[in-house]
Amino acid sequence: MKLYDSKMAPNPRRVRIFLAEKGIQVPDDQVDLAKAQNRSPEFLKINPMGGVPVLQMDDGTNLAESVAICRYFEETHPEPRLMGIDARDKAVVEMWQRRMELNLFSTVTGCFRNTSEFFKGRIPQVPEYGEVCRQAAEKAFGMVDGFLADRKFIAGERYTIADITALVAVDFAKLIKLRVSPEQKNLARWHEAVSSRPSAKA
Ligand SMILES: N[C@@H](CCC(=O)N[C@@H](CS)C(=O)NCC(=O)O)C(=O)O
């Protein structure tokens, strides 16, 4: 088994943090995104979508999509539970995970993809759309600050995959010059707590 990874990119970091929380070690193969190795014919055979991470299993299965990879490890290594405990809790965690992915993570990365030098010439960029994403990301920071007013973590009192997605999004937002503001006290408190976990170094 090996993980096609990139230390510079946010999606693989989600999987690395997830693995670190569970104490799982998987050998990695660093994909050079700067050199567009992920768009080479060889890599497209592994993941036709051209993205990292990809978990290559011993039977040859190539599993892409960060949350699908996390789901696999949640099933094979259930503890600590990061995707919920019973039916209700699993659904609640998934709701928050999707909210963090759709409203926070995707808007931050959407801004980066459409405005950064890194993606210039690599994908069709629409800078105006990037700005729309930036505003949506700013709004999402405020919303998450509000959500955290009455609970310790994004999905409740337990650390879950929703915190991982949100942490990676907030950290990656520095690249679009968006930071937690001093008024966002709940978000700042949460960010400090999740950043101080050893897994955050992953
Ligand atoms: N939906 C996929 C997204 C994968 C993805 O877009 N990965 C980015 C890194 S964060 C990538 O490979 N970007 C390189 C590129 O688009 O050239 C997931 O959840 O893993």
Mean pLDDT of 170-175: 98
Atom nearest to 68 CA in ligand 1: 19
Separation of 93 CA from ligand 1 center, angstroms?
22
Cα(196)–Cα(121) distance, integer angstroms:
37
pLDDT of residue 45: 98
Average pLDDT in the 63-68 region? 98
Closest-CA residue to 153 (of 171, 140, 137, 165): 165
- The share of the chain scoring above pLDDT 70, in percent, equals 100
Q: Give mean pLDDT, residues 70-88.
A: 98
Q: Which residues line ligand 1 (CB under 6 A)?
A: 9-11, 33, 38, 51-53, 65-66, 122
Nearest alpha carbon to residue 67 among 82, 56, 49: 82
Tell me the CA–centroid distance for residue 66 and ligand 1, in Å. 9
Predicted local confidence at residue 61, as pLDDT:
98
- The CB density around residue 82, as the number of other CB atoms within 10 Å, is 23
Q: Return the residue whose CA atom lies nearest to atom 11 of ligand 1.
A: 51
Angle, CA 70 vertex, CA 68 and CA 75 arms, to 5°: 95
C-alpha 134/C-alpha 104 separation (Å) is 10
- Give the DSSP per-residue string, 99-147: HIIIIIIHHHHHHHHHH-STTTTTS---HHHHHHHHHHHHHHHHHHHHH
The predicted model gives 143-153 an average pLDDT of 98
pLDDT of 3 reads 98
173: closest CA among 131, 129, 134, 119? Answer: 134
Coil, helix or strand at residue 4: strand
Residue 126: enclosing H or E segment and its boundaries? none
pLDDT at 181: 96
pLDDT tens figures, 111-130 = 999 999 999 999 999 999 99
Ligand 1, atom nearest to 39 Cα = 17
pLDDT of residue 173: 98
pTM of the model: 0.98
* Angle formed at CA 6 by CA 108 and CA 80, multiple of 5 degrees: 80
Q: Dihedral sign for Cα 85, 156, 142, 146, please.
A: positive
